[in-house]
């Protein structure tokens, strides 16, 4: 069974280094990745990048987060345009998986209107429980578009053959999840923000406490990712510009 994985860059952000690695200084320009998976039984998008509003208005569209980010997001970098590069119509995607519901991971959900949307139950609960401190991290305009929603509670096997499966990697947010893709060259783990940078997992260097929901859970998730790596899986770090520079971009397949 052939499963193909494609990586796509849906813009860039410049943000404070402490938000990526606690105790550091300065800023870092980071990629905003999304992924497309073509499986014999259907198609999957993992994370959808930023919204068109962010493309049009820049950091002003981020509201209270405007002070923290510089946005570099040009026309034809949105998820629908990136999918067109692999001859895929965004309206025909079967499944949309959100690692979590922060603006740079789910803002393009509206551009994938007909997919069944897979989000962890804990993440949906946190994001939709308006008025709580945790919910203030989320903007429903990014993700709440009436998709047919699958609320996964832990691991979720999308096609029923273990080839593309969600795994809980909570900590960064209450219901963060990563995706394991079994390719012809071996398993690849799309980490999302469970592991921002290569250094995050090599040195167990967490982000600033202000951007981590639960440090204990995040460390446990990193340990799980490290165990998968030691078992032969390749990790795709969430926002590592140095690592990302060597990743083939669609329409060339990663694997």
Strand arrangement, sheet containing 116-120: 70-72, 4-16, 27-39, 42-46, 95-97, 116-120, 148-152
How far apart (Å, rounded) are the C-alpha atoms in residues 54 and 47? Answer: 16
- Given this model, what pLDDT does residue 210 score? 86
DSSP structural state of residue 228: H
What predicted TM-score, i.e. pTM, was given to this entire model? 0.97
Which CATH code fits 4-244? 3.60.15.10
Give every CB contact of residue 214 below 8 A, 6+ residues apart in sequence.
170, 171, 174
How far apart (Å, rounded) are the C-alpha atoms in residues 103 and 144? Answer: 12
- Given this model, what pLDDT does residue 1 score? 60
DSSP H helices in the chain: 52-57, 79-84, 103-106, 121-128, 140-143, 198-202, 215-230, 241-244
- Note whether 43 and 93 are within 8 A (CB): yes
Tens digits of pLDDT across the chain (255 residues): 699 999 999 999 999 999 999 999 999 999 999 999 999 999 999 999 999 999 999 999 999 999 999 999 999 999 999 999 999 999 999 999 999 999 999 999 999 999 999 999 999 999 998 766 666 789 999 999 999 999 999 999 999 999 999 999 999 999 999 999 999 999 999 999 999 999 999 999 999 988 899 999 999 999 999 999 999 999 999 999 999 999 999 999 999
């Amino acid at each position: 069974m052939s499963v193909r994985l494609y990586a796509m860059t849906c813009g860039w952000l410049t943000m404070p280094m402490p938000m990526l690695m606690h105790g550091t200084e300065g800023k870092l320009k980071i990629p905003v990745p999304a992924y497309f998976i073509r499986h014999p039984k259907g198609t999957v998008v993992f994370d959808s990048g930023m919204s068109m509003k962010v493309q049009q208005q820049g950091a002003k569209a981020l509201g209270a987060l405007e002070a923290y980010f510089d946005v570099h997001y040009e026309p034809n970098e949105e998820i629908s345009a990136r999918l067109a590069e692999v001859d895929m119509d965004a309206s025909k995607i079967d499944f949309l998986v959100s690692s979590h519901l922060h603006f740079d991971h789910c803002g393009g959900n509206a551009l994938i209107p007909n997919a069944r949307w897979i989000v962890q139950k804990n993440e949906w609960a946190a994001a939709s429980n308006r008025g709580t401190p945790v919910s203030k991290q989320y903007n429903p305009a990014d993700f709440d578009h009436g998709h047919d929603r699958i609320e996964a509670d832990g691991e979720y096997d999308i096609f029923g053959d273990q080839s593309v499966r969600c795994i809980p990697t909570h900590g960064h947010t209450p219901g963060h999840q990563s995706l394991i893709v079994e390719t012809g060259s071996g398993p690849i783990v799309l980490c999302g923000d469970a592991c921002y940078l290569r250094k995050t997992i090599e040195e167990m260097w967490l982000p600033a406490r202000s951007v981590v929901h639960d440090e204990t859970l995040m460390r446990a998730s990193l340990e799980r990712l490290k165990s998968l790596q030691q078992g032969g899986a390749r990790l795709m770090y969430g926002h590592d510009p140095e690592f990302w520079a060597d990743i083939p971009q669609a329409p060339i397949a990663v694997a």
